[in-house]
Structure 1
Amino acid sequence: MIPIGIFSVFLLENAGILGAVINMVLGIGGLIILAPWFFRWYFICAGLMFGRTNMAQTKEDEISARLKHLQG
């Protein structure tokens, strides 16, 4: 992430409006990639706070299956 941050600051300082547009496109692209992951975990946590364990149990089973697959 540090090289991306340095590149982003370089673009903002030296490339003017074009650098700002490139940073905006990179930022929106990053949000599109990270939003589904974030909101899935958010809804799992919110469900646990209100006593709904179905999504958390499903995620736990999914993670357990991945770990068993990685262990051989």
Structure 2
Amino acid sequence: MTGPHGSLNWRNAAHWGGGRHLPCIHCRRGAFCRDDHGRPCHKTCAEAVSASRAEQAAHDLTEGAA
């Protein structure tokens, strides 16, 4: 889910991991939040990955147009 300005929307209660501190799927540090698929994940890590994927997709589009 994305929020305003392309940020991810973490307001849904499903993103709370119930107090279980599990390793983030991106950085492996403990995270209380869960992503849209229920995997432990920091909001900042998820947004960094999302931004990186968007940049890569934009690059791929410009490379394909050349």
TM-score scaled to structure 1, two decimals? 0.34
Q: Larger Cα Rg: Structure 1 or Structure 2? A: 1
Flag the structure with more relative contact order, 1 or 2, with Cα contacts below 8 A and sequence separation at least 6.
2
Higher helix share: 1
Give the TM-score normalised by structure 2.
0.36
